[in-house]
């Protein structure tokens, strides 16, 4: 007979009494797994493929990874017909977008030279800028400029990795992935693409020659502003050889509940992004006509092969006449659109890249990249477009 305290810990076990088949993916909220026998345990450590420890793999996280891999591999419609990656796609999920980016950059680019676009998400630029401390040579090429990318790739030692972001944060410049892949591959480098601003609903880089597709799943993929995460997808072999060890050994593995929440978000990704993208078009037109707005930034679809970016997507930026104080005044007067330093939520969000998301980028570089103090970035949500126009109109009227 066991003591009460022992019984409290062990109970009667928790295995399902009969096989169950849940309609939605269950959450395997556990750090480790047990084995039918000690031999099975030994085999698991020696490569049998059985789950053993959640930092390495977990069924809920695997369910999300398989789902994201299937989205990244979905055929893309183009006027010349459908195109899709001609390899098996796999994916690894990380705690954050930055953990995913770090794993990709070091896992594929470490030990050599990296060419990265400048004028992209501030923390990515800040992270890549610190890599020289770890013996990685880094060169930047202006975002959205293929000639600058090619010149930077060819002028120094051949890089191991070319890293681009399209559409770029915050000014939505686009880069033709097919052309960037040709530049990278001609130099013997791999191409990694952060496609967070578009989500896989609108942009699937692997179909256009990229070796790795990266997302901050925190944003449109999870979609509700409740869970951080990041994904790296690519050919199964590259993911297994270069990305998996980065996660297991450097420890960016996410929590099963985070994976489960993210998986839930993916179910509505297509309709959320389509609705927000249609609204963003209307808002961009409205802002483009407004006398207090000097510039509107939207992805230039004409600079890309047809079908690469399906629509302009849910992100836009605009420059308020009068600089930083004028822009902050507009934010203060908004009532519906919320000031929040993220993107990809259900509600429409605004932030001021100059003093917020891109403050980690040196001021001179922000100016060089066109990120002026008057720029506001908007992540469009799924509210009614008329209410958003009215809010912007009121705020801009001062």
Ligand X SMILES: Cc1ncc(COP(=O)(O)O)c(C=O)c1O
Which residues between 298 and 337 bind ligand X (CB under 6 A)?
Answer: none
The nearest distance, CB 225 to ligand X, in angstroms, is 11
**Which residues have CB under 8 Å from 141's CB, separation 6+?**
115, 116, 117, 118, 148, 149, 151, 152, 153
Choice from 216, 253, 317, 348 touching ligand X (CB under 6 A): 216
The nearest distance, CB 69 to ligand X, in angstroms, is 19
Q: Where does this chain touch ligand X (CB under 6 A) — which range of 133-141, 191-199, 309-317, 360-368?
A: 191-199
Of 84 and 339, CB closest to ligand X: 339
Is residue 96 within the footprint of ligand X (CB under 6 A)? yes
Q: Where does this chain touch ligand X (CB under 6 A) — which range of 132-140, 190-198, 282-290, 383-391?
A: 190-198
Q: How far apart are the C-alpha atoms of 76 and 81, rounded to whole Å? A: 8
Of 105 and 330, CB closest to ligand X: 105
Name the residue number minimizing CB distance to ligand X. Answer: 97
x/- letters, 121..160, toward ligand X (CB under 6 A): x--x------------------------------------
Is residue 98 within the footprint of ligand X (CB under 6 A)? yes
Q: Where does this chain touch ligand X (CB under 6 A) — which range of 143-151, 189-197, 253-261, 380-388?
A: 189-197
Is residue 228 within the footprint of ligand X (CB under 6 A)? yes
Is residue 85 within the footprint of ligand X (CB under 6 A)? no
Is residue 94 within the footprint of ligand X (CB under 6 A)? no
Is residue 230 within the footprint of ligand X (CB under 6 A)? yes
Which residues between 18 and 37 bind ligand X (CB under 6 A)?
Answer: none
Choice from 65, 125, 150, 165 touching ligand X (CB under 6 A): 165
Kindly list the residues in this chain that would bind ligand X in the complex (CB under 6 A): 96-98, 121, 124, 165, 169, 194, 196-197, 216, 218, 228, 230
């Amino acid at each position: 007979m066991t003591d009460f305290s022992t019984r409290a810990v062990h109970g009667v076990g928790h295995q399902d009494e009969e096989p169950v088949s849940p309609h939605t993916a269950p959450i395997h909220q556990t750090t480790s797994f047990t084995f039918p026998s000690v031999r099975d345990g030994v085999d698991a450590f020696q490569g049998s493929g059985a789950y053993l420890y959640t930092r390495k793999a977990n069924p809920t996280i695997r369910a999300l990874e398989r789902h994201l891999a299937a989205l990244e591999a979905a055929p893309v419609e183009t006027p010349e017909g459908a195109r899709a990656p001609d390899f098996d796609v796999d994916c690894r999920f990380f705690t954050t977008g930055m953990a995913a980016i770090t794993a990709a950059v070091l896992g594929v680019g470490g030990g050599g030279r990296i060419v990265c676009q400048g004028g992209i998400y501030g923390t990515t630029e800040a992270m890549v800028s610190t890599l020289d401390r770890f013996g990685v040579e880094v060169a930047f090429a202006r975002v959205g400029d293929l000639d600058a990318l090619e010149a930077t790739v060819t002028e120094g030692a051949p890089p191991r990795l070319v890293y681009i972001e399209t559409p770029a944060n915050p000014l939505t410049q686009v880069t033709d992935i097919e052309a960037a892949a040709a530049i990278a591959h001609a130099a013997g480098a791999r191409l990694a693409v952060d496609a967070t601003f578009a989500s896989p609903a609108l942009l699937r880089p692997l179909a256009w020659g990229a070796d790795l597709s990266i997302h901050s799943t925190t944003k449109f993929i999870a979609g509700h502003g409740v869970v951080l995460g990041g994904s790296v997808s690519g050919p199964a072999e590259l993911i297994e050889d270069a990305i998996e060890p980065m996660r297991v050994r450097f420890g960016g593995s996410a929590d099963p509940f985070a994976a489960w929440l993210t998986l839930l978000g993916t179910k509505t990704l297509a309709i959320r992004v389509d609705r927000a993208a249609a609204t963003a078009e209307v808002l961009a037109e409205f802002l483009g006509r407004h006398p207090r707005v000097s510039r509107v930034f939207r992805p230039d679809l004409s600079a890309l092969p047809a079908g690469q970016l399906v629509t302009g997507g849910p992100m836009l930026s605009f420059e308020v006449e009068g600089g930083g104080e004028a822009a902050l005044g507009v934010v203060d007067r908004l009532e519906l659109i919320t000031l929040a330093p993220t993107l990809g939520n259900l509600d429409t969000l605004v932030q001021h890249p100059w003093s917020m998301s891109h403050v980690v980028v040196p001021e001179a570089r922000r100016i060089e990249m066109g990120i002026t103090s008057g720029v506001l970035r908007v992540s469009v949500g799924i509210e009614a477009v008329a209410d958003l126009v009215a809010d912007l109109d009121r705020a801009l009227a001062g």
